[in-house]
Amino acid sequence: MPFPTESALVYVVDDDPALCRSLRFLLETEGWPVCLFDSAEAFLDALGTQPAPSQPCCLLLDIRMPAMSGLELQQVLRNRGFDAPILFMTGHADVSMAVQAMKCGACDFIEKPFNDQAVLDAVAGAVRRCADMLDGAHRRDTARAALSHLSPREQEVAHLVARGQPNKLIAAELGISEKTVHIHRQHVMEKAGVSSAAELARLFLRVDPGALD
């Protein structure tokens, strides 16, 4: 089931109180909960050791701030594995910095002074991106859990079945009888909760897109 985006959390990190209040008002009129922080350090303190987003969210981040800059915070978050989409807020002179930030993984940048609709559209896009990311991670974890129940031999059989190999070729490759392959194949389907080679292949590809190369 896709992650809902209607109540996604929007973090705003900026040392300008008036700007923060304005953004909170704008975003809350659209129904998004907003958390304000006046510095990168304050945001990191609130985040604690949380390794990754657990709900759809995004970060509106000023690129220039005293002490730790937005670019420095972006790097710290990347190192921690907190990969919520980042929207940088920039002045005209900071556009080249924002472009550099996007090369490092930022989702987008918004130039000050803001156009309200541009902000709302950018946040909506970032939230959808985060929801898609969380949905993909959930599917990957579910697939990994399903495959983890297989024994080492069942893993070998499952991999070959997922690649479309018939029982006869699997038996020859693994040096076992076709009957044994058939038994392993049944166990694989039962343990993984699938009913076809195509479904099994999807599990492998969710865990690792290159698993069947």
Structure confidence by residue, pLDDT tens digits, 101-136: 777 777 888 888 888 999 999 999 999 999 998 888
Q: Lowest-confidence range among 88-97, 152-161, 179-188?
A: 88-97
Residues 197-206 have a mean pLDDT of 92
pTM given for the model = 0.76
Cα 146 to chain centroid, rounded: 20
pLDDT at 50: 67
Report the candidate in 132, 124, 139, 138 with the shortest Cα–Cα distance to residue 58: 124
Please give the span between the terminal C-alpha atoms of the chain, in angstroms, as a whole number.
29
Q: Could you tell me the CA-to-CA distances from 52 to 13, 104, 137 in Å, in that order? A: 18, 18, 11
> In whole numbers, what is the pLDDT of the chain averaged over residues?
88
What's the rounded Cα separation, in Å, for the pair 43 and 36?
8
- The 10s digit of each residue's pLDDT in 65-83 is 888 998 899 889 988 888 8
Positive or negative: CA dihedral 30, 14, 92, 95 = negative
Q: Which residue type, as a one-letter code, is found at position 88?
A: F
With a CB cutoff of 8 Å and minimum separation 6, the contacts of 105 are: 74, 78, 83, 86
Positive or negative: CA dihedral 11, 17, 22, 28 = positive
Instruction: List the beta bridge partners of residue 57.
Output: 9
Report residue 45's pLDDT band, with 50, 70 and 90 as the boundaries.
very high
